[in-house]
Amino acid sequence: MPNPTDVDLHQASRVLEIRFDDGSHFELSCEYLRVNSPSAEVKGHGPGQGVLQVNKEDVNITRIEPVGNYAVRLYFDDGHHTGLYTWDYLYDLGANKEAYWQQYLEQLAAAGYQRRS
Protein backbone atom coordinates (compact mmCIF):
# COMPACT_ATOMS: atom_id res chain seq x y z
CA MET A 1 0.00 0.00 0.00
CA PRO A 2 1.11 3.56 -0.64
CA ASN A 3 2.40 5.67 2.23
CA PRO A 4 1.03 9.10 3.11
CA THR A 5 3.21 12.08 2.26
CA ASP A 6 0.99 14.92 3.41
CA VAL A 7 -2.09 15.30 5.61
CA ASP A 8 -3.84 18.66 5.87
CA LEU A 9 -6.98 19.48 7.80
CA HIS A 10 -9.02 22.34 6.36
CA GLN A 11 -11.38 23.12 9.23
CA ALA A 12 -13.21 25.96 7.48
CA SER A 13 -14.32 23.64 4.67
CA ARG A 14 -14.38 20.55 6.94
CA VAL A 15 -12.12 18.54 4.63
CA LEU A 16 -9.15 16.29 5.34
CA GLU A 17 -6.73 16.29 2.43
CA ILE A 18 -4.35 13.35 2.09
CA ARG A 19 -1.59 12.75 -0.45
CA PHE A 20 0.16 9.41 -0.95
CA ASP A 21 3.51 8.53 -2.46
CA ASP A 22 1.86 6.87 -5.48
CA GLY A 23 0.52 10.29 -6.52
CA SER A 24 -2.98 9.70 -5.14
CA HIS A 25 -4.69 12.73 -3.64
CA PHE A 26 -7.94 12.52 -1.71
CA GLU A 27 -10.18 15.18 -0.20
CA LEU A 28 -12.40 13.54 2.40
CA SER A 29 -15.12 15.46 4.17
CA CYS A 30 -15.28 15.26 7.94
CA GLU A 31 -18.84 13.96 7.63
CA TYR A 32 -17.68 11.16 5.32
CA LEU A 33 -14.89 10.22 7.71
CA ARG A 34 -17.20 10.34 10.73
CA VAL A 35 -19.93 8.15 9.23
CA ASN A 36 -17.28 5.67 8.08
CA SER A 37 -15.42 5.55 11.38
CA PRO A 38 -13.67 2.21 11.87
CA SER A 39 -14.76 2.18 15.52
CA ALA A 40 -16.88 -0.58 17.02
CA GLU A 41 -19.38 2.16 17.95
CA VAL A 42 -20.03 2.67 14.22
CA LYS A 43 -19.04 -0.64 12.57
CA GLY A 44 -20.31 -2.87 15.36
CA HIS A 45 -18.55 -5.94 16.69
CA GLY A 46 -19.49 -8.17 13.78
CA PRO A 47 -21.24 -8.30 10.41
CA GLY A 48 -24.60 -6.58 10.36
CA GLN A 49 -24.05 -4.83 13.70
CA GLY A 50 -23.13 -1.41 12.33
CA VAL A 51 -24.98 1.66 13.51
CA LEU A 52 -26.15 4.15 10.87
CA GLN A 53 -24.75 7.59 11.68
CA VAL A 54 -27.13 10.51 11.16
CA ASN A 55 -27.01 14.26 11.75
CA LYS A 56 -23.27 14.43 11.01
CA GLU A 57 -23.51 17.00 8.22
CA ASP A 58 -21.77 19.72 10.25
CA VAL A 59 -19.25 17.61 12.16
CA ASN A 60 -15.65 18.77 12.13
CA ILE A 61 -12.31 17.33 13.16
CA THR A 62 -10.69 19.16 16.05
CA ARG A 63 -7.48 17.17 16.38
CA ILE A 64 -5.43 14.54 14.58
CA GLU A 65 -3.22 12.30 16.71
CA PRO A 66 -0.61 10.04 15.08
CA VAL A 67 -0.62 6.40 16.20
CA GLY A 68 2.74 4.87 15.41
CA ASN A 69 3.59 4.95 11.73
CA TYR A 70 0.43 3.20 10.61
CA ALA A 71 -2.62 5.24 11.67
CA VAL A 72 -4.19 8.39 13.05
CA ARG A 73 -6.90 8.96 15.62
CA LEU A 74 -9.35 11.64 14.55
CA TYR A 75 -11.08 13.71 17.21
CA PHE A 76 -14.48 14.98 16.08
CA ASP A 77 -16.31 17.90 17.64
CA ASP A 78 -19.29 15.65 18.46
CA GLY A 79 -17.06 13.86 20.99
CA HIS A 80 -16.27 10.81 18.85
CA HIS A 81 -12.63 9.73 18.87
CA THR A 82 -12.61 5.95 18.99
CA GLY A 83 -11.35 3.91 16.09
CA LEU A 84 -8.01 4.11 14.41
CA TYR A 85 -7.87 5.28 10.81
CA THR A 86 -5.00 3.28 9.36
CA TRP A 87 -3.31 4.63 6.26
CA ASP A 88 -4.64 1.61 4.34
CA TYR A 89 -8.18 2.38 5.51
CA LEU A 90 -7.88 6.07 4.60
CA TYR A 91 -6.53 5.11 1.18
CA ASP A 92 -9.48 2.74 0.69
CA LEU A 93 -11.93 5.46 1.77
CA GLY A 94 -10.38 7.82 -0.77
CA ALA A 95 -10.17 5.35 -3.63
CA ASN A 96 -13.77 4.20 -3.14
CA LYS A 97 -15.31 7.47 -2.01
CA GLU A 98 -18.08 7.65 -4.62
CA ALA A 99 -19.27 4.08 -4.06
CA TYR A 100 -19.12 4.30 -0.26
CA TRP A 101 -20.90 7.66 -0.22
CA GLN A 102 -23.66 6.34 -2.48
CA GLN A 103 -24.06 3.32 -0.23
CA TYR A 104 -24.37 5.62 2.79
CA LEU A 105 -27.01 7.77 1.06
CA GLU A 106 -28.97 4.63 0.18
CA GLN A 107 -28.82 3.46 3.80
CA LEU A 108 -30.10 6.86 4.95
CA ALA A 109 -32.98 6.72 2.45
CA ALA A 110 -33.89 3.19 3.51
CA ALA A 111 -34.01 4.39 7.13
CA GLY A 112 -36.27 7.30 6.14
CA TYR A 113 -33.63 9.94 6.85
CA GLN A 114 -32.75 12.83 4.57
CA ARG A 115 -29.54 14.82 4.92
CA ARG A 116 -29.88 18.53 5.65
CA SER A 117 -27.29 19.63 3.09
Report DSSP letters for the chain, one per residue.
Answer: -PPEEEEEEETTTTEEEEEETTS-EEEEEHHHHHHT--SHHHH-SSTT------S-TT--EEEEEEETTTEEEEEETTS---S-EEHHHHHHHHHTHHHHHHHHHHHHHHTT-----
pTM, entire model: 0.95
| Rounded average pLDDT per 10-residue block, the chain, 117 residues | 94 97 98 96 85 96 96 97 96 98 96 88
